[in-house]
Amino acid sequence: MINILVGIFLLSGFIAAIFLLLAIFNFIKLDKIKAVKMLKFTGISIVIFILCFIAVGELGLNNAETPKKEKQEEKPVAKIETSDDVTWQDKVKEIAGLNNTPTEKFDTIVAYAKKYPSTKAEIKEFENYIIGEYKNKKYLADIKDETYLLSNIFKAYVINRHYGDEETPINDFVYGFYQNSNNVLRGIESSNSNTIKYNERQMDKALAAIESP
């Protein structure tokens, strides 16, 4: 497209120059009618010349900006190599040991959890673990232990991904656990903030529904 516009741009400039010369020539011959016609054609050619110049400039600017946009859209999460011999526990330790911010570590563990091939047995194991950690009030006891918090976030995310949008007590409970864990890890909330306490009240309701006969 830009090559076509450049061609029209050059051609219109050349034609404008020819018509201008013809207009001058007719003025010299005192043939004003032909001279005025030549000036009109010159004006049209100049307008086309200017429009092509603007279009070429715009296309050139857009092409120059494209690589920058693509670069900005690159994933910010750290690259984690996958292997069948590496357990999720190993991945959690690996991510916790990265020289990244808590938010970057959170993004990385979630990216890993999104693709983790969980089994039904693991889902049940993770559910029992999370309920136990909440009931003994251990899950936010040490907010500096990133390995522990990332492990909990991983388990909670895998459970919520398993159930999807189902509105069940266990799904609601685990989602509250996930929110509190990631907010504390990233420093968005303190472990005793009003938001954390509100989520825990909702979790208590869900837990009562889970344990009711």
Segment-wise mean pLDDT, segments of 10 residues, the chain, 213 residues: 56 62 60 58 63 58 38 46 76 96 97 96 97 96 95 97 94 97 96 96 96 84
Domain region containing 132: 88-211
Cα 150–153–155 angle (5° rounding)?
110
Residues 57 and 138 in one domain: no
Residues 41 and 133 in one domain: no
Residues 62 and 135 in one domain: no
- In this prediction the pTM is 0.62
Number of C-beta neighbours around residue 150 at 10 A: 26
Residues 55 and 138 in one domain: no
Which one of 40, 72, 104 terminates a domain? 72
Residue 196 lies in a domain: yes
Residues 127 and 95 in one domain: yes
Residues 100 and 58 in one domain: no
Residue 64 lies in a domain: yes
Residues 105 and 195 in one domain: yes
DSSP string, 108-175: HHHHHHHT----HHHHHHHHHHHHHHHHTT-TTT-TT-HHHHHHHHHHHHHHHHHHTT---HHHHHHH
Residues 176 and 111 in one domain: yes
